[in-house]
Amino acid sequence: MGAATWVLVLNSGSSSLKYQLIDMAGADADGGAERLASGIVERIGEPGGVADHGEALRRAAGELKEQGLGLDSPRLAAVGHRVVHGGTRFTEPTLITDDVLAGIEDLVPLAPLHNPANITGIKVARELRPDLPQVAVFDTAFHATLPEAAARYAIDTATADRYGIRRYGFHGTSHAYVSRATAKLLGRDPADVNVIVLHLGNGASASAVRGGVCVDTSMGLTPLEGLVMGTRSGDLDPAVVFHLERVAGMSTDDIDRLLNKRSGLLGLCGDNDMREIGRRMAEGDKAAQLAFDVYVHRLRRYVGAFSAVLGRVDAITFTAGVGENSAAVRGAALAGLHNLGVTMDPVRNAVRGHAPRLVSADDSRVAVAVVPTDEELEIARDTYALAAAPQDG
Ligand code: AMP
């Protein structure tokens, strides 16, 4: 019988539960963690799906049991939960107590779409294994280092403070992992490297990381701000909201749905999958081309802005579904940026791969990298470090 070195990582979305079981026994800073199993239970609370997150976790537990990886195993050391919003209270991975859970519940108004599902996931996992440490790893935590100049919105300070209105940033686990992995790819100490990370998945965000510390990010109070995403608008003039209310007679909830679920690539062309948009563009589809162009234009704006924020940029790194797979997006986003020190290598950029790699030319002053993100591994690491690693003495 081995020591308790397994970490169960749970990512509870509104209608899905993603899980991974990771063995941290051989893990060190350079890897060595072993993914034992992973899966997803979808359509929670939908017709034809499972009823709730409790049933979803029991289903996941059943799937693991069939692979000889029962969650009743003494090798399971801890459960790590992705929690979307940590507000200003939670700036580090946190061992979950009743008080912490109440704190996460207090943050629901800031993340009404995400935190409730995370809370349900925590409660269900605690019921399943009440004896185990449970750790919350917050999507906002990596951005807690944002200087006030970057975190503050220029609105009345008393109002902002009273309602917790500031830029929190999200995808922090990914930005942290990818910025570190970029330094490793360059063979340099993360403390000496300045990186712009472009996390381009269905949700998308950019961050400026100086010496391992996040100093700016594109998402704000919620994950709606910043880049154009699959179904989210990203940046717009806030007066668009008043205009829709006053002129189109839309309710707050209507506008919330419009901007979060029916905008972005989907709103522009009817598709939110970059693969489909690529296919349509190849056939000369104008709406798909426009969606791509708007997406790329926004991306370039952030690359320029974050170059100025950082002053010296050592690397620009693409990650997540679009960033890892779309050579077209990478190429268009960084084309003609020689004045910023960026020279792509089109051949390297076109090569598909799963390993971290450089796609810039050898003489590019700024390295351009593709680094597959691994949020689950990062959560497992944080969880194990806090809850399960053998203690001294
Ligand atoms: P993620 O949220 O990181 O899972 O990313 C999901 C998105 O990645 C999808 O909606 C697609 O738009 C995009 N994606 C996945 N594979 C590819 C690909 N081969 N080429 C272009 N985009 C892709």
Residues 294-336: pLDDT tens digits? 999 999 999 999 999 999 999 999 999 999 999 999 999 999 9
* Domain of residue 230, residue span: 187-375
- Ligand 1 pocket check: which of 38, 228, 273, 374 to mutate, most ligand atoms within 8 Å of Cβ? 273
* Residue 132 pLDDT exceeds 60: yes
pLDDT at 392: 47
State both tokens at 313. 């940029």
Q: Is 201 annotated as a binding residue?
A: yes
Number of structural domains, the chain? 2
Domain match, 206 and 349 both:
yes
Task: Specify if 149 maps to a domain.
Answer: no
Domain match, 205 and 348 both:
yes
Reduce the DSSP state of residue 107 to 3 states and report it. coil
Q: Is 34 annotated as a binding residue?
A: no
**Which listed residue (28, 52, 72, 139) is catalytic?**
139
Domain match, 239 and 134 both:
no
Which has the closest alpha carbon to 56: 7, 124, 108? 124
Pick from 28-37, 246-255, 333-342: least confident: 28-37
pTM, 2 dp: 0.95
CATH number of the domain that residue 343 is part of: 3.30.420.40
Q: Is 18 annotated as a binding residue?
A: yes
* Residue 29 pLDDT exceeds 80: no
Q: In Å, what is the CA distance from 137 to each residue of 11, 20, 49, 81?
A: 10, 15, 27, 6
Task: Specify if 392 maps to a domain.
Answer: no
Task: Specify if 95 maps to a domain.
Answer: yes
* Residue 391 pLDDT exceeds 80: no
Domain match, 125 and 194 both:
no
Could you tell me the distance, in angstroms and rounded to a whole number, from the CA of residue 272 to the centre of ligand 1? 9
Task: Specify if 157 maps to a domain.
Answer: no
Domain match, 352 and 230 both:
yes
Asked if residues 225 and 235 have their Cβ atoms less than 8 Å apart, the reply is yes
Sign, Cα dihedral of 374, 378, 379, 383: positive
Q: Based on the number of CB atoms within 10 Å of its own CB, is 159 exposed (0-12), middle (13-18) or buried (19 or more)?
A: exposed
Report residue 32's pLDDT band, with 50, 70 and 90 as the boundaries.
confident
